[in-house]
Every structure is written in structure tokens, then in C-alpha cells.
Amino acid sequence: MSFLASVIVALAKVLGVLLNAYMWIVIISALLSWVNPDPYNPIVRFLRGATDPVYAKVRRWVPFTMIGGFDLSPILLILVIQVADIVVVDNLVRLAFSMGYGMPGMMVR
């Protein structure tokens, strides 16, 4: 088992966890936008601070995200996160297996 392959698998796992955590932050932020939460609540401030800049970039890149007053940028962001998870994380794991990590048929995730 190669040390570099183990490092690549570890990076893939950490990246997968970070992408999954951010996806849940986006989901919770989108659900909170349906109600009127206290804007001074530290959790609401964190969620808005973590998602609003990314939403603004998505709205700038894809101008049709506002349809009838409904914001589609969280949905597009979740799709991008899922694609990044599939493409980047899975390919890092495949790279590690091609370098001799683990045994064939062993599950990494």
C-alpha cells in the first residue's frame, strides 16, 4: 500500500465530508429563507454569510435563477456540489486504487 495513495484517499474523504456539510448548509439556508428568522441570530448570520456570496455568484453566472420570485440558485448550487462530489472525489479514489491502495472490492466511503 502506497503512502501517497493513502494521502489521496484521506483527501478525498475530507473533501467529500466538506462538500456534504456545505450541501446541508445550503439546504438549511434555503429552508430558512421560507420563514422570517431573526437576522441577529448567530446561526442565521453564519448560514447567510456562508451561502449569500455563493448565491450571488450563481445569480451572476446564470441570470435566469429568479423565476416568478422563486430563487433557483440553491438548487443549482446543490447540483454543482453533487457533480463535484461525483467527479472529483470519486476520481481521487479511483486514482488511489490505481496506485495500489487497499484490496480490490474494498469500499472506501
pLDDT digits (tens, 9 = 90+) for 21-70: 999 999 999 999 889 889 999 999 999 999 999 999 998 998 887 788 88
Query: How far is residue 54's CA from residue 59's CA, in Å, rounded to a whole number?
Result: 9
* 3-state SS assignment for residue 33: coil
Distance from C-alpha of 72 to C-alpha of 55, rounded to nearest angstrom:
9
Handedness of CA 62, 68, 73, 76 (dihedral sign): negative
Contact 107, 13 (CB under 8 A): no
What pLDDT score was predicted for residue 67? 82
Kindly report the pTM of this predicted structure.
Answer: 0.84
Domain boundaries, the chain: 3-98
Share of the chain above pLDDT 70, in %: 92
Q: Looking at this protein, which amino acid is placed at residue 104?
A: P
| pLDDT, mean of residues 87-95 | 93
